[in-house]
Amino acid sequence: MSEFQRLKIPDLVLVKPKRYGDSRGYFSEVYHAERYAEGGIDCGFVQDNHSLSAPKGVLRGLHFQTNPSPQAKLVRCTRGRILDIAVDIRYGSETFGRHVGVELTEENGLQLYVPVGFAHAFCTLEENCEVQYKVSGYYAPECDGGVAFDDPDLGIKWPFPIDELVISDKDKVLPRLVDLPVTFRV
């Protein structure tokens, strides 16, 4: 059975699925709708995504989707190690603008649940990282949004100097949180 832990921003949930191992390796149930709902993740996931980042220092994010196709995410690293970050962008929230970072690895098997109203990013800590995540809304380019990964108001400490990060052109020009329109409210 999985363990569920609320983080310092209580809407974020860290999941530790139980692994059953023997001489062959291990088995782990990485999602069970009823059990996850009991653990605080009551979400209708509709799409699974899988990314490979070849170099270390790849930073993807901070991304979110708005209505009519907002996305909650359940993220795990299935090869390598990543620093996974979630930022509360819900206006009126007591934790607005704060973030949580968790290391997700192939070895620890942890998952991070990121609800709607949070911007999400990850940075690869080694080469050839694979990240798999469930989302609650279909990808909709017209709903795509983001926050600058280097917004000084967020105070995120990335594991590499900014000039060494591998970042898409799109992510290099995302607005600061203070410049975002009010998209999510509590």
Residues with a catalytic annotation lie at 63, 133
Around 54, how many Cα atoms within 13 Å sit in the side-chain half-sphere?
Answer: 0
CA–CA distance, 71 with 14 (Å, rounded to integer): 17
Number of other residues whose CB lies within 10 A of the CB of residue 68: 9
105 contact partners, CB below 8 Å, separation of at least 6: 77, 80, 81, 82
Let me know: does 113 contact 72? Beta carbons within 8 Å. Answer: yes
